[in-house]
Amino acid sequence: MIKIENIVEIEDYLSFERNSSTKHEFLFQSIIPMAGASYEHNLLAGSLFALIWFHLRKSNKDVFQNDMRTYNPISQGFIYPDIVVSDGKPIFREDEKMDNLMNPVMIIEVLSPSTAVYDKSDKFIACKTIPTLQEYVLVSTDTPEIEIYRRENEDHWSLIKERELNHHVHFNSIDFSFELGEIYQRK
């Protein structure tokens, strides 16, 4: 991942980002350009988004895909999850744009070769400090595999991995189960 180090203030980042034709994340005082998504990435993210959207359609939670910038008030960072679910009605950072979600309960990242290390390390380290976050999910594009990092308490996260297509995956944060093969059926 390429980092652009010269913008360090939040308002400078937001001004830069809102006027940019491409997306950038802002973590640990660094601007990180976002990579484009592959065919496989889009199929997996779209399939999972559709399943979650259908499950949540009559709930008080909202699910967003790709463009909902998410703000971490603890680390002062901004990310663009592939999929993010709000903890109840969305709460936005104080600003008239309503484009910085502050209350994610679940963040899902579909891994690609160019982002896998970042999504598993720096991004997860930053996301773990979001007070409302209960699950951080990584979905592999290379092989059928999903990893769910689940908050057990303030400082402890457990890891659940599933690799069997006929096994069920359960997201506690939204009380939703599905068969892993449902998102990999077109691969």
pLDDT for 95 equals 66
> Which is nearest to 66 in space by CA: 97, 30, 23?
23
Per-residue pLDDT at 149 exceeds 60: yes
d(CA 116, CA 120): 6
Structural domain boundaries of the chain?
Answer: 38-184
Percentage of residues of the chain with pLDDT beyond 70: 94
Count of residues for the chain? 187
What digits encode the pLDDT tens for the residues 54-67? 999 999 999 999 88
Cα dihedral across residues 142, 67, 28, 85: positive or negative: negative
Q: Which of 168, 169, 115, 166 is nearest to 137 (CA)?
A: 169
- The whole model's pTM is what? 0.91
pLDDT digits (tens, 9 = 90+) for 11-50: 888 888 889 988 999 988 888 888 788 899 999 999 999 9
Kindly report the CATH class assigned to 38-184.
alpha beta
